[in-house]
Structure 1
């Protein structure tokens, strides 16, 4: 079914005035203002709170000679998707024994459990422990105990939140600690912001959250900012992830991100692969690069040539994006990336030629 009423195309039109919607920046300002008005200065200051640790399950780490991963989960929203997480856990432990998970978060949930991801993870088979670390400052990436826990774990899950905070850990010990988990046959993953941080090109949103309309009207908009060199997972090179994909109508901005990655040389070989996952969807990626989708749809968006026009202050023109739409149970081979099964969509003067979420697959490719 089309995500738009009556199968209408989304209103990606560069001719219309673009209104700024720095969503999470506005939300942060409003939250701070309300805290002051309520006399909640202490609450408002929690963003600078000390790093916190909550461990569920066994107090002793699992111990064994080797692990069978790596494995990854890429989720369209922040919550753990049991189907894909179970596949990742089973792949890493080789179907026997149990392992330890660390959840990394940049803020504490506003209500309910302080460990929502670990609450879900500890209900799965094969889990020895799950430790939630809330790290609110860039310097927290050098927290000695946090890094010890990460290195002793077999899976690191990045919670939803603000990927700009996560990219700030690039210059800290945490980055190498997470890499060590994957290198020993463990895994990494996350949802929403945690999905973004696991691609090779990270849309970091450090200046504000950009909409599809804004990105297509100007792919060099000041809100279109990227971090590279954070992680480079096996078989997942040249990717730029996006989340909440259909619900928040993010195909257009992923198209712009892909064009930018190609134009600016952020990826290799003159190609960039957008990976957009809808809320409730999750890609499990095994050690051979084979991704299997659970839940809601996912899209892989390939740009394999230079954009016809991608310059600051002007709307994007890019012909023939190759788009694979994945439904639950479908696979996509990131090691041996397919050359067929896609449909084509173009952007001309900042406008997509038709509804980009649906198309007829090309035959004879």
Structure 2
């Protein structure tokens, strides 16, 4: 019997790892993890100010800063006056180019006092005292692209509460790609590896479909599961599977789960009242509002009637008062989706 695609992929990965060990020699030591590093741009002293006007959030489909949405978040938090401090959190240093690409973009915006990049390479770095001091003194925390599993590992460290304190004082949070994932209330953490749509639909309990809960639960943004690089990597199917899993396993409240898939180049700015405005490429909100007809380990998914909102640049979505109309419907039957997942005629007579 030929292996399924995901089996073939994993077998190939295992063989590659084994060959690497043989080629490198069994006695070769693994490289040590780099120490936590800090690079600050702008003023050396933090802003001193008692009140802020957020919270505000930016959620990006790829890793980089989207200037339009970030500028709106900065202006919303500072209330149009003064300046603020930003911290960028990353789990690895860029392979080439600038070591601070996100801060480079942030420093070009108005209303910025400083931007500090912290590269934290191991879970215990989430307890780094200077990093936590910088976060707590900041007004916006941005999670860079990379590996959301490494971000999820900070859940049991001081860093989680430090980021929460920024939002609580009227600041903000955001991120792109992996940083987008970590800002939803249910996080697809990819700690066992990345899963494709075909794999997730064939078995929503695939070992690669792993989740972290209890990391962050931002105001007006509960019961969400974020996904990134959405259209270009054809991730609608896996978001459907994630939504079904969240419902079946009780990971969300009220019998509803909301997938939020942002395409590369797209960015949602979400204000303090939960109103999201899209800049750039498309975003999809995928609602599951009933128990899946079939979501069991080792079997393909069946779920009828996902409600899908497609947002284009300039459009809004109210996460505080979530709409009950304007969606199109798509279903999955025995792991096979309806056609034309990324476009449909909205239902307006709800």
TM over 0.5: yes
The aligned runs of 1:248-263 (5 Å cut-off) are: 248-263=233-248
Q: Given the superposition, is the C-alpha separation of residues 34 and 53 from structure 1 closer, same or farther in structure 2, using an over 3 Å criterion?
A: farther
Partner of 2:31: 45
Q: Which runs of 5+ in 1 are unaligned?
A: 1-15
Counterpart secondary structure, 1:240: strand
Partner of 2:185: 200
Q: Verify the 8 A CA contact 1:200 1:229 in the aligned structure 2.
A: yes
- Looking at structure 2, the residues matched to 271 and 98 of structure 1 have their Cα atoms a distance apart, in angstroms, of 39
- Looking at structure 1, the residues matched to 313 and 291 of structure 2 have their Cα atoms a distance apart, in angstroms, of 32
Moved over 4 A (4+): 21-39, 41-44
Counterpart secondary structure, 2:31: helix
- Looking at structure 2, the residues matched to 280 and 141 of structure 1 have their Cα atoms a distance apart, in angstroms, of 29
Counterpart secondary structure, 2:161: helix
- Looking at structure 2, the residues matched to 129 and 113 of structure 1 have their Cα atoms a distance apart, in angstroms, of 17
Q: Which of 199, 203, 223 is residue 208 of structure 2 equivalent to?
A: 223
Cα offset, 1:364, TM superposition: 1.0
Q: Which of 84, 88, 92 is residue 107 of structure 1 equivalent to?
A: 92
Q: Which runs of 5+ in 2 are unaligned?
A: none
Counterpart secondary structure, 2:331: strand
Q: Which of 267, 277, 280 is residue 262 of structure 2 equivalent to?
A: 277
Is 1:65–2:50 an aligned residue pair?
yes
- Looking at structure 2, the residues matched to 363 and 191 of structure 1 have their Cα atoms a distance apart, in angstroms, of 32
Q: Given the superposition, is the C-alpha separation of residues 33 and 103 from structure 1 closer, same or farther in structure 2, using an over 3 Å criterion?
A: farther
- Looking at structure 1, the residues matched to 273 and 280 of structure 2 have their Cα atoms a distance apart, in angstroms, of 21
Q: Given the superposition, is the C-alpha separation of residues 24 and 106 from structure 1 closer, same or farther in structure 2, using an over 3 Å criterion?
A: farther
Is 1:210–2:195 an aligned residue pair?
yes
Q: Verify the 8 A CA contact 1:23 1:209 in the aligned structure 2.
A: no
Q: Which of 81, 95, 102 is residue 117 of structure 1 equivalent to?
A: 102
Partner of 1:184: 169
The aligned runs of 1:80-159 (5 Å cut-off) are: 80-159=65-144
Cα offset, 1:65, TM superposition: 1.5
Q: Alpha-carbon deviations, 1:264-289, whole Å to 9, x = none?
A: 00000000000000000000000000
- Looking at structure 2, the residues matched to 198 and 70 of structure 1 have their Cα atoms a distance apart, in angstroms, of 13
Cα offset, 1:20, TM superposition: 2.1
Counterpart secondary structure, 2:217: coil
Q: Verify the 8 A CA contact 1:23 1:208 in the aligned structure 2.
A: no
Is 1:306–2:291 an aligned residue pair?
yes
Cα offset, 1:300, TM superposition: 0.0
Q: Alpha-carbon deviations, 1:48-67, whole Å to 9, x = none?
A: 11100000000000111210
Q: Given the superposition, is the C-alpha separation of residues 178 and 36 from structure 1 closer, same or farther in structure 2, using an over 3 Å criterion?
A: farther
Is 1:358–2:347 an aligned residue pair?
no
Q: Given the superposition, is the C-alpha separation of residues 27 and 62 from structure 1 closer, same or farther in structure 2, using an over 3 Å criterion?
A: farther
Q: Given the superposition, is the C-alpha separation of residues 333 and 186 from structure 1 closer, same or farther in structure 2, using an over 3 Å criterion?
A: same
Counterpart secondary structure, 1:59: coil
- Looking at structure 2, the residues matched to 122 and 29 of structure 1 have their Cα atoms a distance apart, in angstroms, of 45
- Looking at structure 2, the residues matched to 225 and 37 of structure 1 have their Cα atoms a distance apart, in angstroms, of 32
Q: Given the superposition, is the C-alpha separation of residues 36 and 92 from structure 1 closer, same or farther in structure 2, using an over 3 Å criterion?
A: farther
The aligned runs of 1:311-350 (5 Å cut-off) are: 311-350=296-335
Q: Verify the 8 A CA contact 1:36 1:44 in the aligned structure 2.
A: no
Q: How many residues align?
A: 348
Q: Which has the higher contact order (CA 8 A, sep 6+)?
A: 1
- Looking at structure 1, the residues matched to 7 and 144 of structure 2 have their Cα atoms a distance apart, in angstroms, of 23
- Looking at structure 1, the residues matched to 120 and 29 of structure 2 have their Cα atoms a distance apart, in angstroms, of 16
Q: Verify the 8 A CA contact 1:21 1:211 in the aligned structure 2.
A: no
Partner of 1:79: 64
Q: Given the superposition, is the C-alpha separation of residues 173 and 24 from structure 1 closer, same or farther in structure 2, using an over 3 Å criterion?
A: farther
Is 1:268–2:249 an aligned residue pair?
no
